[in-house]
Structure 1
Amino acid sequence: MPFVDIRLAGSATREQKAAIVADVTQSLVERLGKSPAAVQVVISEISTENYGSGGQLIADRAPASKPGEDANAAVTSQ
């Protein structure tokens, strides 16, 4: 059973998260031949005040160029 953990610095809309889950699931179905029911996806939204990179809080950096866009999202999968 594939388990995908997606961590976002900041937040995404419900619609964006639903699309991410659908896209990731479809990718694992197509590439690994997994059943959609077997794919588990967890999205964690991390406050930009609780996440830092390069010695600086993400909240203190310039905002992303588009709403909902964040270049500092971390993705891990197993």
Structure 2
Amino acid sequence: MPFVSIRMAGSATRAQKAAIVDDVTRSLVTRRGKNPAAVQIVIEEVSLENYGAGGQLIADRDSPKGDANAAPSR
């Protein structure tokens, strides 16, 4: 029984998540011959304030210009 865990920074709509689940399930059925009923997928959305890269929070990196809390641009 395949168990797939997907972590995403930010959020996705219900329709986007449904499409991801469908795509991943179909891939496992096609490529590995798995029973679609046995494929389990968990999508975890990570807040941009709880995810960092390159030494700064993604929330700060992606802040619009003029935001007093945004990291200085380089």
Q: TM-score range by the shorter chain?
A: 0.7 to 0.9
- Is 1:42 the equivalent of 2:42? yes
Q: Structure 1 runs of 4+ off > 3 angstroms?
A: none
**Larger RCO, structures 1/2 (Cα 8 Å, 6+ apart):** 1
Count of aligned pairs between the two proteins: 63
The share of aligned pairs that are identical, in percent, is 76
CA RMSD for the aligned pairs?
1.0
Structure 2 segments unaligned to the other structure (5+ residues): 64-74
The CA distance in 1 between the partners of 2:12 and 2:61, in whole Å, is 18
Look up the equivalent residue of 1:17 and give its one-letter code. Answer: K
What secondary structure, in the 3-state scheme, does the structure 2 residue paired with 1:17 have?
helix
State the match for 1:4 in structure 2: 4
Greater C-alpha Rg: 2
Structure 1 segments unaligned to the other structure (5+ residues): 64-78
Under a length normalisation based on structure 2, what TM-score does the superposition of the two structures give?
0.81
Greater CA deviation, 54-63 or 24-33? 54-63
Under a length normalisation based on structure 1, what TM-score does the superposition of the two structures give?
0.77
